[in-house]
């Protein structure tokens, strides 16, 4: 086993003991690798960061299940592959819905309004990804995965009160970031 793999095994063992520093280190170490893997697997997408967050939630919850007989990178990329397949199937189902709603909406809305809505969504995504991981994760789980605060608490292992607090803090920070973005655009 290479030195880096040995270090990663140790990090996963520390994560199993709920060591947040080890988790952040592993997150930083593997984020770009997982995104590169997803780019090769699915092509470029803005959703890859969401999948990385989903992967890391599994790592936090299942680190004790890791078998050191496999390489940490194989374990992480295997989780990423499964999450990518799930995201792909969800996207496929979403696109299988009748297009008539989009056609009606596009016929009713002015092109400028559609472009402004897309810009607002892009600003929200940028502000969300600037948040610290502990505030971003519950907001992503709530917004993109329709998880309740109780479900988020169960998935992350934190009390519901902590989840509520982090969501409030994250939303406040996003509001400030969005106001700053709009102030820059206005000037």
CATH number of the CATH domain containing 152: 1.10.10.10
- Last residue of some domain: 97, 118, 136? 97
| Claim to verify: residue 87 and residue 129 sit in the same structural domain | no
Q: Are 49 and 42 within 8 A, CB to CB?
A: no
If one counts the domains in the chain, the total is 2
The CA angle 89-92-97, to the nearest 5 degrees, is: 130
pLDDT at position 15 is 94
Q: Are 130 and 89 contained in the same domain? A: no
Same domain for 56 and 142?
no
- Residue 105 domain flag: no
Does 85 share its domain with 114? no
Q: What is the pLDDT along the chain (187 residues), one digit of tens a residue?
A: 566 667 899 999 999 999 999 999 999 999 988 888 887 766 767 778 888 999 999 999 999 999 878 889 888 988 888 888 787 777 666 554 443 344 444 455 555 655 666 677 778 888 888 899 889 888 888 877 778 888 888 888 889 999 999 999 999 998 898 888 777 666 5
CATH number at residue 39: 1.10.1740.10
User: What tokens does 80 get?
Assistant: 């990423």
pLDDT of amino acid 114: 57
- Residue 89's pLDDT is what? 72
Question: 3-state SS of the chain?
Answer: CCHHHHHHHHHHHHHHCCCHHHHHHHHHHHHHHHHHHHHHHHCCCCCHHHHHHHHHHHHHHHHHHCCCCCCHHHHHHHHHHHHHHHHHHHHHHHHCCCCHHHHHHHHHCCHHHHHHHHHHHHHHHHHHHCCCHHHHHHHHHHHHHCCCHHHHHHHHCCCHHHHHHHHHHHHHHHHHHHHHHHHHHHC
Query: What pLDDT is recorded for position 61?
Result: 92
Q: Residue 24 is part of which domain span? A: 1-97
Residue 2: predicted pLDDT: 64
pTM of the model: 0.50
Same-domain check for residues 145 and 76:
no
């Amino acid at each position: 086993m290479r030195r880096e793999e040995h270090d990663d095994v140790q990090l996963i063992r520390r994560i199993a003991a709920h060591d947040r520093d080890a988790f952040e280190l592993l997150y930083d170490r593997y984020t770009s690798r997982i995104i590169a893997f997803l780019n090769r697997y699915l092509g470029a997408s803005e959703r890859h960061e969401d999948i990385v967050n989903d992967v890391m939630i599994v790592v936090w919850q299942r680190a004790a299940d890791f078998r050191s007989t496999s390489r940490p990178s194989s374990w992480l990329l295997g989780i990423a592959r499964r999450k990518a397949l799930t995201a792909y199937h969800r996207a496929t189902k979403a696109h299988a819905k009748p297009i008539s709603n989009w056609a009606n909406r596009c016929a009713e809305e002015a092109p400028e309004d559609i472009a402004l809505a897309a810009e607002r969504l892009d600003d929200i995504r940028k502000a969300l990804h600037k948040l610290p991981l502990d505030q971003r994760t519950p907001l992503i789980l709530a917004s993109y995965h329709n998880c309740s605060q109780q479900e988020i608490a169960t998935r992350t292992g934190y009390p519901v009160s902590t989840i509520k607090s982090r969501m409030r803090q994250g939303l406040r920070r996003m509001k400030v970031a969005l106001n700053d973005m709009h102030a820059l655009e206005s000037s």
